[in-house]
Amino acid sequence: MRVALLLAAGIFVTCPGLHAQSSLKAWQPDGAEIAKRYAGAKYMDSAVKVGILNRTVQPNWIKDGTAFWYKKSLKDSAVEYVYIDAVKGRRKTITKEEAAALPFDSVAAPPRNRWRGRRSAYEEAAPDSSYSAFLRNGNLFLKKINGTEADIALTSDGSNEQPYGAFSWSPDSRYLVAYRIKPVKDSSVYYVLTSQTGTTRGQLRSQEYKQPGDPFTSYEMFLFEAATRKQVKVNTDIIDFGYPSALQWRGNKHFLFERTDRGHQRFRVIEVNVETARTRNVIEEQTPTFIYEQRIVTRYLYDNNSILWVSEKDGWRRMYMVDVVTGSCKPVNQGQWVVREVDSVDEKKKEIWFRASGMDATEDPYHIHYYRIGMDGKNLLSLTPEDGTHQMSFSKDKRFYIDNWSRVNTAPVTVLRRTADGKKIMDLEQADISGLLATGLRLPEIFHAKGRDGVTDIWGIVCRPSNFDSTVKYPVIENIYAGPQDSFVPKSFMAYSEMQSMAELGFIVVQMDGMGTANRSKAFHDMCWHNLADAGFPDRIAWIKALAAKYPYVDDSRVGLYGTSAGGQNAMGGLLFHPEFYSAAVAACGCHDNRVDKQWWNEQWMGYPIGKHYEEQSNVTNAAKLKGNLLLIVGEADTNVPPESTYRVADALIKANKTFDFLPVPGMGHSDGGPYGRAKKRDFFVKHLLGVDPPDRNK
């Protein structure tokens, strides 16, 4: 009743389900206005290059680790040198000469991830330098390193076509592990360079390229005892997917290796007893959907006879301590949050240093924070408490650390903290973005709304024009990339972007991470399984509708989307599968048919063997469903997604008598089409969402 009275009185109100925003008129500029918008976007692209002062601090630690100096940027390209006493928390300005005279020590490099794979070796010496193992005509031989004895043949059934290889000695040099290998040569994909200088002929290029369903080289594991020349086949299946993992020796009698079965639904850490050639599973994970192979983390802790293992097996990406002897598996952490990375493990102190997101339910669940925790799950310490996404660097002895944090619309802040308890010692710098803001730039807004289930929050960002007018309705353009390998919405400070540049033309440009992407719960991620065509569209559409419900100037009746690679597949998919919502799309270098694209990526999410769902979800198969306006862009020299992926979908569109625009870019690799492609993308949305012709560049 109250709402009705307010409307009768001419008072504007908004509330859920009430479309009072319909009173706003759609913004439809004329040619002169759009020309000004192009000029304004070009100006902004240049003006924002003023830069940000002191976005971060690059410390130069002195050798005893108690102090450091850094160079601070001032206006008008001036600099000053700042000396920080980390123990006392004091700062002072010094000269360049004083800084150079300090006993400098570089910060220790972060530990690298363990090397998971190993290719064939052709010769490898035993640890005690007694023998060297080598290949001859595909067979395995031993030779005395300091002797004149004849070479010893360990095998006779190998050949150059099917050799032995990938050697590994036991620590006591008693045993040698090797594989009998049946190589598979990958088939090739091709492209033609049409515009090479110095020739009038197109140049054919090719590369070996494994597509879904293609066979793999196989590896059969054998044990050899150097003294007796005894050969025994290890009691394990032939490895017919990927490469053999690096072996992890536990003493001299046991080693462990890892394998993921093809189809990505089973992962094992297998222990081999070299005296019996028998095996047992120390870790075995199976799932009805997928195990994200590239994010399996195993840290072998030799002093503790244990493995630190990171897995999503219980619904969230968590850490577990696995006892190698007993096989017991105990969680290190609990809760509905995600371990993002294990940075280091201190076996002596039994501490794990890691990154995680989502632990604080009051902030963006994608923000990355740093933590320390005991292997027993006790004494969890937050090292980076501020609401934002963080980057850390330690002093060499790890007594102190520098933390740089920001949000997409919050300028970076750099602080110095004490490692022992995480206590803040002092603020170092806050980035100066005054020059950036003086251009009139609008920083993006962080926005979240419920997804398809009405429960789960979907997070994204919103970019508006600098000369934004809330009394008109602007069309929406979505920047889409729904690849399940990660999440993609920026979380650290975003000074400027193509999204903002496009917004200057008179659009609301948005980006969000829908279900099926990573870094949330396993259930959130599982939406992609055998289902890449879904691309989180129900969540994305709900998000944009919620944005329009909150802001009357958001016109959810005029929505376009653009993307590259998997995003190109998604962009076209929006028109094929959701034409009631999306009306224009620019798809660059899209993997429009998952059977045409690379094996390792597509089988990870679409599964193996190659089922009917591959065909059913293909943009090529569904091309005849096209509604709305489509621009396809492809680089003729794309070595990531074969160019024929786009040509096949173009062929299907032609056969279905569909209207679309097509831009092949000579010599271009895997990209959005480069500067020309990006210009055509803008023109395309101006024409089809704003209803006005873009400037004629031929005049």
Identify which of 58, 65, 79, 167 has the alpha carbon closest to the alpha carbon of residue 118: 167
Q: 677: Cβ–Cβ under 8 A, 6 or more apart, which residues?
A: 588, 633, 663, 665, 668, 671
Three-state DSSP state, 167: strand
- pLDDT tens per residue across span 602-641: 999 999 999 999 999 999 999 999 999 999 999 999 999 9
Spatial distance between the Cα atoms of 289 and 284, rounded to a whole number of angstroms: 15
**Do 577 and 665 share a domain, yes or no?**
yes
Asked whether residue 97 is domain-assigned, the answer is no
Spatial distance between the Cα atoms of 42 and 403, rounded to a whole number of angstroms: 35
Q: List, edge to edge, every strand of the sheet that includes 218-225.
A: 164-169, 175-182, 218-225, 231-233
pLDDT at 105: 66
pLDDT at 51: 81
Question: Could you tell me where the beta strands, DSSP code E, fall in 17-111?
Answer: 25-26, 60-62, 67-73, 79-85, 90-94, 104-105
Q: HEC profile for 503-556?
A: HCCCCEEEEECCECECCCCHHHHHCCCCCCCCCCHHHHHHHHHHHHHHCCCEEE
Percent of the chain with pLDDT strictly greater than 70: 94
Q: Are 175 and 162 in contact (CB under 8 A)?
A: no
**Do 392 and 498 share a domain, yes or no?**
no
* Residue type at 454 in one-letter notation: G
* Residue type at 344 in one-letter notation: S
The torsion region of residue 305 among left (phi > 0), alpha (psi -120 to 50) and beta comes to left
**Do 181 and 221 share a domain, yes or no?**
yes
**What is the residue whose two structure tokens read 């006993």?**
103
Q: 699: Cβ–Cβ under 8 A, 6 or more apart, which residues?
A: none
**Do 546 and 482 share a domain, yes or no?**
yes
pLDDT at 46: 93
Spatial distance between the Cα atoms of 226 and 221, rounded to a whole number of angstroms: 16
Residues in the chain, overall count: 699
- pLDDT tens per residue across span 18-57: 344 458 999 999 999 999 999 999 999 999 988 899 999 9
**Do 539 and 551 share a domain, yes or no?**
yes
Spatial distance between the Cα atoms of 457 and 436, rounded to a whole number of angstroms: 31
Q: Are 400 and 107 in contact (CB under 8 A)?
A: no
- Picking from 278, 295, 312, the residue at the C-terminal end of a domain is 295
* Residue type at 588 in one-letter notation: A
Asked whether residue 337 is domain-assigned, the answer is yes
Cα-Cα-Cα-Cα torsion 545, 551, 553, 557, nearest 10 degrees, comes to 10
- Total domain count, the chain: 4
pLDDT at 493: 97
609: tokens are 């063997």
**What distances in angstroms separate CA 104 from CA 94, 428, 685, one per listed residue?**
15, 20, 54
- Picking from 266, 295, 324, the residue at the C-terminal end of a domain is 295
Asked whether residue 87 is domain-assigned, the answer is yes
- Domain containing residue 345: 333-407+410-441
**How is residue 200 annotated by DSSP?**
S
Q: Are 145 and 131 in contact (CB under 8 A)?
A: yes
Asked whether residue 14 is domain-assigned, the answer is no
* Residue type at 380 in one-letter notation: L
**Do 528 and 540 share a domain, yes or no?**
yes
pLDDT at 523: 98
340: tokens are 């993002």
**Do 337 and 235 share a domain, yes or no?**
no
User: How many degrees, rounded to 5, is the angle at CA 373 between CA 522 and CA 412?
Assistant: 80
> Residue 647 belongs to what H/E stretch?
helix 644-655
pLDDT at 165: 92
Cα-Cα-Cα-Cα torsion 119, 120, 124, 128, nearest 10 degrees, comes to 60
127: tokens are 């640890």
**Do 250 and 121 share a domain, yes or no?**
yes
Spatial distance between the Cα atoms of 664 and 674, rounded to a whole number of angstroms: 11
Asked whether residue 100 is domain-assigned, the answer is no
Q: 475: Cβ–Cβ under 8 A, 6 or more apart, which residues?
A: 26, 27, 506, 507, 508, 555, 558, 559, 560, 685, 689, 690
Q: Are 519 and 487 in contact (CB under 8 A)?
A: yes
**What distances in angstroms separate CA 667 from CA 222, 314, 639, 662, one per listed residue?**
48, 47, 11, 16
Spatial distance between the Cα atoms of 358 and 250, rounded to a whole number of angstroms: 36
pTM: 0.93
**Do 141 and 67 share a domain, yes or no?**
no
**What distances in angstroms separate CA 567 from CA 102, 561, 641, 669, one per listed residue?**
50, 9, 12, 16
Asked whether residue 41 is domain-assigned, the answer is no
**Do 436 and 461 share a domain, yes or no?**
no
pLDDT at 699: 87
pLDDT at 5: 32
Intra-chain end-to-end CA distance of the chain, in Å: 59
Q: Which CATH number covers residue 652?
A: 3.40.50.1820
Asked whether residue 462 is domain-assigned, the answer is yes
Spatial distance between the Cα atoms of 404 and 52, rounded to a whole number of angstroms: 14
**Do 494 and 591 share a domain, yes or no?**
yes
For residues 517-527, one letter each, b for 16 or more C-beta atoms within 10 angstroms of the residue's C-beta and e for the rest, the string is bbbbbbebbbb
**Do 66 and 127 share a domain, yes or no?**
no
Asked whether residue 15 is domain-assigned, the answer is no
Question: Could you tell me where the beta strands, DSSP code E, fall in 398-452?
Answer: 400-407, 410-418, 424-430, 445-450
Spatial distance between the Cα atoms of 222 and 232, rounded to a whole number of angstroms: 6
Q: HEC profile for 456-511?
A: CEEEEEEECCCCCCCCEEEEEEEECCCCCCCCCCCCCCCCCCHHHHHHCCCCEEEE
Q: Which CATH number covers residue 148?
A: 2.140.10.30
pLDDT along the chain (699 residues), means of 10: 32 36 83 95 91 93 93 92 96 93 62 38 86 95 89 95 94 96 96 95 97 97 95 96 94 96 98 97 98 96 94 97 96 97 96 98 97 98 98 94 98 98 97 94 97 98 95 97 98 96 98 98 98 98 98 98 98 98 98 97 97 98 98 97 98 98 97 97 98 93
**What distances in angstroms separate CA 330 from CA 75, 230, 327, one per listed residue?**
54, 39, 10
